[in-house]
Structure 1
Amino acid sequence: MSQSVTDLEKLRARKGAVRRSEVPANVVAGLNRGELESVNLVEFLVIDHVKLFKAVRPGLSLDDAVAKKLSRIIKDLATAGVMQRLTATGAAFHEALVGSDAREVVYQQLTEHPSDVLRSWAAYMDAADETLTFAKRLKQARKFALDSNMGVREIAWMSVRLPAAESIVSDIERLYPLANHKNHLARRFAIEVSRPCGVWCKHITELKQRPEIAEDLLTLCREDDTKYVQDSVANWLNDASKTRPDFVQELCERWLAESESPHTRRITHRALRTLRKKA
C-alpha cells in the first residue's frame, strides 16, 4: 500500500541510515515503489530493482512486449553489481525503444521520476546511444548534473565518460562553458567528468600522462567559492600527482603565486596531500 502524502513528505526529510540493516521498513517500501529517492549510498544499495520496475511500470508508456522484455533483463541482472545493473538497464531501455515513437516519452518519464534509480536509467539510456555527439551528450547530461540527488549527479558524469572518454581529451574545450556556469553543480560536473582517475570508472590514461591538457579547465575553477567544486579540483590534481607530480607541484606553486584567494589555498593544500605523505 502506498503511503500518504503527509507520510512521504516526512520521510523525504529523513537522514539516511548508516547500515543497510538499519534502513526502516517503510523507507525500503517507499524506495521499492518509486515513491522515494535514496538519500545516501546505503539506501541506494537496498533498492530491489525488480520490485521497483514492477511498481513503476504502469506509469511508463511501455507496451506489454517491451515491458516484459525489460522485466526479464532486470531480473537477470539481480545478482550483478549496482553499477552494472544501472548501465545494463539503461542500455536495455535504449535498445528496446530505439526507433520507437515512445522512446522520448519514456525517457522524459524516467528523467522526471521521483526515484533516483529511474533518473539514472535515463542517463544510461543516453550513454548507450551511439548516435549522440560529444556536444549532445554534454547537453543531455546537464539535467542530471544539476539534479538534487547526489547519486544522480555522479551518474551524470559517468554516463558521459563511459562512451566518450576520448572526446573529453580531444574536445576538452567543450567543458569550459560548464566550468564557467553560474550553478556550482555544473562547474563540479565539468571537473569531475575529466578526472584522470575517476571513481568507479575507467581511468583516462592520456590525462594521467599529460594532465596539462586540462590546465585551462582547472584554472577556471581555481578560485571557486564552493567547497563541492574545490574538492573536485583538488581531487583531480591529487589524481594527477600520482603519475605527474612535477606538473601538480608546479601548477600549485604558480596558482599560489598568482592568486591570494583562500579558496585557491584550500584547493592546492588538498591537491598536494599525496605528495606530502610521500615526502
Structure 2
Amino acid sequence: MKDIPDDILRQLNNGELESANAVEWFAIDRRKLLETVLSDNNRIEYFKPILKCVNSLEKQTANTLNETIGEGLLHQSKIYNDNNLISIIANHDSDVVRSWGAFMIGKADDLSLNKKFQEIQLFAGDKHFNVREEAWVALRMSVIENLEESLEILSTWVKNEDENIRRFASELTRPRGVWCKHIEVLKDKPELALCILESLKTDESTYVRNSVGNWLNDASKTRPDFVIELCTRWKSESNQTAIGYIIKKAMRTLNKVEK
C-alpha cells in the first residue's frame, strides 16, 4: 500500500478513480470516501450516524465496512425519504461507492425477493470485478433464507447474454463460497442447483466456467459422490473442451485426496 502514489490515493479516497487492483481496493479510506461522497451530494447530515455504526464494528475489514456503510446509507435514505440516493450511489465513478449500493439492495427488508434480484442485477453486471463480487455477497443471506425461490429466479439468469449475469447465478449459490456464510442445504443436496449447473456446463465464457468448476469443487467436499457422478455423466455426453475445463477444476480436491 505504501507504494501507491499519493496523488492516486487521494483520487481514490475522493471517489474520483476506480481501484485498479486489490491493493488499491484495501487501501481506500472508506470513512473519508463516505464523507466526500455525502458532502459532494449535499447529504453530509447522513455522515455522523453512519460513522457511528462503522466505528462500533468489532471486526473492521474492507468487506464489513462496505456492508455497514451500505446498510447505513439505506437507513438514512429511509429516514429522509431520499429516493434519489440509490441512483447517486449506483452511478458513482468509484467502484467502492457502487458496491455500497449493492448492500443497500441486499439489506432492504421491505423489498420482495424478486424485487431484490431485479435491483441487484445492475451491480451483478457492473464493469468492475469488485462491485460484482460485493453484489453476490450482498444477496447471499436472502438466498439462504429463500433458496428454492432464488434457484427458480436464477434458472433464468443463466440464459442472460451477459456473462457477468450468468456467472453471478453460479457464484451466488456456491455451497461454500469465499469469505461468506455457507449454504448448508446445497452442501448436503447440491442436486437442487442442477438447474444452474446444467445450463452453464458448456458456457463459452472462461469466467463462467471457472465459477461452475469452483461450485462443484465446493460440493465435492461434502458430496463427492454427486460430483463424481455428474462429471462422469457430463464427460460421457460430450467431449467438448468447455466441459473438460470445468471437470478438471471440479475434481481438483478429490484428485489431491486420491494422490
Same fold (TM over 0.5): yes
Q: CA deviation at 1:231?
A: 0.3
Alignment-derived partner of residue 149 in structure 1: 128
Correspondent of 1:60 among 38, 41, 50:
41
For 1:51, the equivalent position in structure 2 comes to: 32
Whether the 8 Å contact between 2:167 and 2:207 is mirrored in structure 1 is yes
Distance in 2, matches of 1:127 and 1:41, equals: 23
Q: Would you say the 8 A contact 1:61–1:105 is kept in 2?
A: no
Structure 2: 5+ residue runs without aligned partners?
none
- Conservation of the 8 A alpha-carbon contact between 1:123 and 1:156: yes
The answer to whether the 8 Å contact 2:143/2:150 transfers is no
Letter of the 2:152 counterpart: E
Which is worse superposed, 38-47 or 246-255? 38-47
CA distance in 2: counterparts of 1:175 and 1:99, whole angstroms: 32
Letter in 1 for 2:195: D
1:28 aligns with 2:9: yes
Match of 1:85 among 52, 56, 65: 65
The equivalent residue for 2:253 is 274
- Pick which of 243-252 and 126-135 moved more: 126-135
Q: CA deviation at 1:100?
A: 3.5
Q: Cα distance 1:111–1:171, how it changes in 2: closer, same or farther (>3 A)? A: closer
Partner of 1:194: 173
Q: Match of 1:57, as an amino acid?
A: L
Task: Report Cα offsets for 1:201-232 as digits up to 9, x if no partner.
Answer: 10000000000000121000000111100000
SS at match of 2:24: helix
Q: Higher mean Cα deviation, 107-116 or 87-96?
A: 87-96
Q: Which whole-Å CA distance do the structure 1 matches of 2:38 and 2:46 have between them?
A: 11
Measured in 2, the distance between the counterparts of 1:30 and 1:77 equals 26
Q: Comparing 41-50 with 230-239, which one deviates more in the overlay? A: 41-50
| Count of equivalent residues | 258
Deviates more, 1:67-76 or 1:87-96: 67-76
After TM superposition, give the deviation of residue 169 of structure 1 in Å: 3.9
Task: Give the CA RMSD over aligned residues.
Answer: 1.7
Give distance in 1, aligned partners of 2:210 and 2:46.
42
- 8 Å CA contact 2:170–2:215 kept in 1: the answer is yes
For residues 171-186 of structure 1, what are the structure 2 equivalents within 5 Å?
A: 171-186=150-165
2:232 to 244, 253, 268: 253
Give 1:164 deviation, angstroms: 3.2
* Divergent runs of 4+, >6 A: none
- Matches of 2:218 and 2:148 in 1, distance apart? 16
TM-score, normalization by structure 2: 0.94
Task: Give the letter aligned to residue 274 of structure 1.
Answer: T
User: Structure 1 stretch 74-83 or stretch 192-201: which is displaced more?
Assistant: 74-83
The reply on whether 1:114 has 2:93 as its aligned counterpart is yes
Matching residue within 208, 214, 217 for 1:238? 217
User: Which residue does 1:227 correspond to in 2?
Assistant: 206
Distance of 2:8 and 2:125 partners within structure 1? 25
Deviations 1:184-211 (A, max 9, x none): 1100000000000011110000000000
State the secondary structure of the residue aligned to 1:98. Answer: helix
TM-superposed CA distance for 1:74, in Å, is 4.1
Q: Give SS of 1:26's match.
A: helix
Q: What is the TM-score of this pair, normalised by structure 1?
A: 0.87
Unaligned runs of 5+ in 1: 1-19
